[in-house]
Amino acid sequence: MKKYLKNLPQEIKNLIVLAEEVSRETKMPAYLVGGFPRDLILGVKDWDLDITVEGNGIKFAENLAKKLNVSLVKHERFGTATLILNHRLKVDVATTRKEVYPSCACLPVVSPGTLKEDLLRRDFTINALAVSLSTDASRKLIDIFCGKEDLTAGKIRILHDLSFEDDPTRILRAIRFKQRYNFKIEPKTLSLLRAAVNSGLLNKVHPHRMRDELVLMLKEKDPSAQLKQLYDLGGLSFISNNLKPGRQVYGLFKSINQEISWFMRSFPFHGSFEAWLVYFAALLRQLSLVQSKKIIRRLGLSKQEEKKILSCRQINRRFIGRLKNKQIKPAQVFNLLKPFSYEAIILLRSVSGDSVFKKHITDFLKIYNCVRLSISGDDLYRLGVLPGPKYQKILNKVLAARLNGSVKNRQDELALIGKIIK
């Protein structure tokens, strides 16, 4: 693996050297596992590191955190810990474990295990590679299931025939990795995957686990392709049997994709914007309000997520028609769009290519939404207005005038208040 590791950023090379030191000092064999070796071989830049340790993962992580002088979040119950180095780089440390599935689609019984057992519990050969960090075999690739060969051939392959029955979320994972890397699902794996979908295994998994995998799918680069593949395989039934995305939904997904790219470029500091939610809201628009609410609750989405998704339902023909009007004033555009979340606004921008409509939304995001009044409630108080709901009404009127350009500065704003009070 030395030739692959050579090209890593210095920061990661240093980290690996320190992990090797910790492995030597604590006498605990450690390995880089999961997505890191996979993406390293593929030449994909993904700097999240997963280290698994034969011994005590938390102790290992404590030693590594000390050497790096960074903080550590421990998850004692799972024997894992996370080191946060900076916003780009995260290291997860776990203890090697074995998993036994007591019955189909149930959570496994977990106990400490060897590296081999830890690799055997994984989803696909390409995700079951390990790079040794121990002195005697340092930086050697451990490849029990010929994962490197599958990586080179572009194949997604499960490790044993009962894999999808043990954990049906792997169905979504298989599709996700296939689409992400433009791989093929190996024929036997594909036939077992189809059989698992057909026997309704996706409906046996706890909905919250399905939601997590679905969200990961919608966070991929091309959610439209992900969704199409999942639907074609019959895999959307865990959300609803009534979901039948056709050309229109895939087209909408493509346009959402472009709008999200535009939004990210134009507003890099977008706070709590959740791109996956826009896709999910677009998908649920096919269903009734009652059905959508039921799904949202079953999947355990948060109140905030529910609110954002449901607000997207107000986007209807009439609403769109109003925004296509060239004559509409800035304050009216502001009042129409202000109640919506950024997610709903992006969905809105995706539903029509009309240039006037798009310009109104762009102006809202870039100009109107950034306008701040120079006056405040204090000014109203000084002018003798008694505090109450009136304040908001007056300030809204001044804001509308400011947006429409009839007042331009503090003096104008104060003059307008004077008029309003009279």
289-300: burial string, b at 16+ Cβ within 10 Å, e else: eeebeebbeebe
Show contacts with ligand ATP in window 383-412 (CB under 6 A). Answer: none
211 contacts ligand ATP (rule: CB under 6 A)? no
* Count of residues of this chain found to bind ligand ATP when the rule CB under 6 A is applied: 11
Question: Nearest approach, Cβ of 56 to ligand ATP (angstroms)?
Answer: 19
Q: Does 167 bind ligand ATP (CB under 6 A)?
A: yes
Query: Which is closer to ligand ATP, CB of 25 or CB of 149?
Result: 149
Nearest CB to ligand ATP, comparing residues 20 and 99: 99
Cβ-based nearer residue to ligand ATP, 171 or 283: 171
Q: Does 165 bind ligand ATP (CB under 6 A)?
A: no
Integer Cα distance of 178 and 187 in angstroms = 13
CB of 50 to ligand ATP, least distance (A): 6
Instruction: Pick the piece of the chain touching ligand ATP (CB under 6 A) from 105-113, 168-176, 301-309, 338-346.
Output: 168-176
Residue whose entry in the numeric block shows the structure tokens 């992990």: 19
Distance of closest approach, residue 169 Cβ to ligand ATP, in angstroms: 5
For residue 396, the minimal CB distance to ligand ATP (Å) is 46
Window 116-145: contact mask with ligand ATP (x via CB under 6 A): ------xx---x------------------
Q: Which stretch binds ligand ATP (CB under 6 A): 61-69, 74-82, 167-175, 381-389?
A: 167-175
The amino acid present at 360, given as its one-letter code, is H
Shortest Å, Cβ 320 to ligand ATP:
36
| CA–CA gap between residue 277 and residue 332 (Å, rounded) | 27
At its nearest, how many Å lie between ligand ATP and the CB of residue 291? 28
Minimum CB distance to ligand ATP, residue 393 (Å) = 50
What minimum distance in Å lies between the beta carbon of 104 and ligand ATP?
14
Residue 40 or 309 with smaller CB distance to ligand ATP: 40
- Report the 3 state secondary structure along the chain: CHHHHCCCCHHHHHHHHHHHHHHHHHCCCEEEECHHHHHHHHCCCCCCEEEEECCCHHHHHHHHHHHHCCCEEEEHHHCEEEEECCCCCEEEEEECEEEECCCCCCCCEEEECCHHHHHHCCCEHHHCCEEECCHHHCCCEECCCCHHHHHHHCEECECCCCHHHHCCHHHHHHHHHHHHHCCEECHHHHHHHHHHHHCCHHHHCCHHHHHHHHHHHHCCCCHHHHHHHHHHCCCCCCCCCCCCCCHHHHHHHHHHHHHHHHHHHHCCCCCCCCHHHHHHHHHHCCCCHHHHHHHHHHCCCCHHHHHHHHHHHHCCHHHHHHHCCCCCCHHHHHHHHCCCCHHHHHHHHHHCCCHHHHHHHHHHHHCHHHCCCCCCHHHHHHCCCCCCCHHHHHHHHHHHHHHHCCCCCHHHHHHHHHHHHC
Whose CB is nearest to ligand ATP?
35
Q: How many CB atoms are closer than 10 A to CB 37?
A: 27
22 to 41, contacts with ligand ATP by CB under 6 A? 34-35
According to CB under 6 A, which one of 63, 96, 169, 229 is a site residue for ligand ATP? 169
The nearest distance, CB 371 to ligand ATP, in angstroms, is 40
Which range, of 145-153, 166-174, 285-293, 327-335, touches ligand ATP by CB under 6 A? 166-174
- For 218-239, b/e burial (b = at least 16 CB within 10 A) is bebeebbbbbbbbbebebbebb
Min separation Cβ 128 and ligand ATP, Å: 6
Question: What is the C-alpha to C-alpha distance for residues 392 and 359, in angstroms, rounded to an integer?
Answer: 28
Residues from 48 through 67 that contact ligand ATP (CB under 6 A): 50
Out of 170, 178, 308, 360, the residue judged to bind ligand ATP by CB under 6 A: 170
Nearer to ligand ATP, 50 or 165 (CB): 50
Q: Which is nearer to ligand ATP, 29 or 34 (CB)?
A: 34
Interface stretch with ligand ATP, choices 69-77, 105-113, 162-170, 317-325 (CB under 6 A): 162-170
Which is closer to ligand ATP, CB of 54 or CB of 259?
Answer: 54
Residues that bind ligand ATP (CB under 6 A): 34-35, 46, 50, 122-123, 127, 167, 169-170, 173
